[in-house]
Amino acid sequence: MIDENLIKEVDEAINNISTYDDLNDFRLKYLSKKGSITSLSSKMKELSNEEKREFGYCLNEFKNSVQSRLNAIKEKMDLEYLNKKLESEKIDITLPGTKITKGYIHPLNRVIEEVKEIFISMGYDVKSGPEVENDLYNFELLNIPKSHPARDMQDTFYINEEILLRSQTSPVQIRTMLENKDKTPIRIICPGKVYRRDNDDATHSHQFEQIEGLVVDKNISMADLKGTLEVAMNKLFGDGRKLRFRPSFFPFTEPSVEVDVSCFKCNGKGCNMCKKTGWIEILGAGMVHPNVLRNCGYDPDVYTGFAFGLGVERIAMLKYEINDIRDFYTNDLRFLSQFKYIEKSDDDASK
Ligand code: DAH
């Protein structure tokens, strides 16, 4: 009852299906609303009831057989597509992997972290300030006016008359006191980069790291400074360290001292590290100058304070026996990777 030619044509068309596009084209041509198979049902109305039943039956059979062949083709194509995809995404887990090497904490950051931890455990806050600084904060308010000879101690990079690259971390003291108005206590340390017009050599770098410390409150004395530094230096360089204060000069402290630590290599007997003196110069410190307190809104008759400044490179050079400051900045992996073996407390980061 169904046109033989159409059956043949459909059969051939199904046999020629090899892609998803072919499949869609076939559906469109034969099975869509106006497709040649679908439109066969319009014949119904011309038929008698008897014929209708028979034709309907044949048409259904035909449609079902076409549909089930299409389903089989689609299933096969889906499987092929999946297999191809799996094949292309296959990972050979027996191949050796690419080894990822972990970095190590830079020796300067190790020292900064260690010093931070020591002072945080004593209740200090960690502060930072801008590296591009005003002359006012870097010098003037620290009791170093424009013509003061102390400016020669720090050969500074100026951007213009008033703006410079900070030559010390001491301006963070000023910023903190100004921020706090006259509130106390202030207990801060400020690690950060500083810049000076030095020619780079084994012991000088035009950029280096300092850590500044500042405490301001009522009744702060030189004894507090000494006690604090004694605790810190014993933690940093190992138990049994003694401190020695030598008179010195900084414009922002009065009195000012240079602080030496008994040599942690020879325990004070005298060796190459301490140049046979038994002492190693570690930092500058002193009692905050009344002018500095006053400049920042603190009445020096009511408040006192101590301050200190240490060079991170110097400490790292001593601790790890490094004799060229430039090694910190040339990023030679042979140098840097040695620090993975140092100190148990950092093990996690250096594994
Ligand atoms: N700012 C000083 C420098 O760079 C270091 C220093 C010395 C800081 C004594 C201080 C201090 O706070 O009290 O040479």
Interval 259-270: pLDDT, tens:
999 999 999 999
Alpha-carbon distance values, 232 to 119, 121, 141, 261 (Å)? 7, 10, 28, 11
pLDDT at res. 337: 87
Of 157, 102, 140, the closest CA to residue 296 belongs to: 140
Of 48, 52, 307, 299, the closest CA to residue 182 belongs to: 299
The answer, yes or no, to whether residue 349 has pLDDT greater than 50, is no
Q: How far is the CA of 245 from the centre of ligand 1 (A)?
A: 14
Of 260, 262, 242, 245, the closest CA to residue 306 belongs to: 245
Split at pLDDT 50, 70, 90, the class of 285 is very high
pLDDT at res. 346: 45
Mean pLDDT, range 294-315, rounded to an integer: 97
pLDDT at res. 339: 85
Query: How many residues appear in the chain?
Result: 351
The answer, yes or no, to whether residue 67 has pLDDT greater than 90, is yes
Q: How far is the CA of 128 from the centre of ligand 1 (A)?
A: 16
Q: What residues are in contact with ligand 1 under a 6 Å CB criterion?
A: 168, 170, 212, 250, 253, 284-286, 307-309
Eight-class DSSP state of 42: G
Among protein residues, the one whose CA lies closest to atom 4 of ligand 1: 168
For 103-148, what is each residue's pLDDT tens digit? Answer: 888 999 999 999 999 999 999 999 999 999 999 999 999 999 998 8
Split at pLDDT 50, 70, 90, the class of 343 is low
Split at pLDDT 50, 70, 90, the class of 350 is very low
For 184-230, what is each residue's pLDDT tens digit? Answer: 899 999 999 999 999 999 999 999 999 999 999 999 999 999 999 99
Buried b (16+ CB within 10 A) or exposed e, 207-238: ebbbbbbbbbeeebeeebbbebbeebbbbbbe
The two structure tokens encoding residue 284: 């500058």
Neighbours of 134 (CB within 10 A): 17
Of 326, 319, 306, the closest CA to residue 227 belongs to: 306
Greater model confidence, 43 or 70: 70
pLDDT at res. 341: 65
Split at pLDDT 50, 70, 90, the class of 338 is confident
Residues 225/285, Cβ–Cβ less than 8 Å: yes
Split at pLDDT 50, 70, 90, the class of 102 is confident
pLDDT at res. 180: 95
Q: How far is the CA of 331 from the centre of ligand 1 (A)?
A: 28
Residues 305/288, Cβ–Cβ less than 8 Å: yes
For 146-161, what is each residue's pLDDT tens digit? Answer: 988 888 888 999 999 9
Eight-class DSSP state of 133: E
Sort 138 into a burial class: Cβ within 10 Å, 0-12 / 13-18 / 19+.
buried
pLDDT at res. 92: 86
Please state, rounded to an integer, the average pLDDT across all residues of the chain.
93
For 12-52, what is each residue's pLDDT tens digit? Answer: 999 999 999 999 999 999 999 999 999 888 888 888 989 89
Residues 192/159, Cβ–Cβ less than 8 Å: no
pLDDT at res. 342: 63
Among protein residues, the one whose CA lies closest to atom 5 of ligand 1: 309
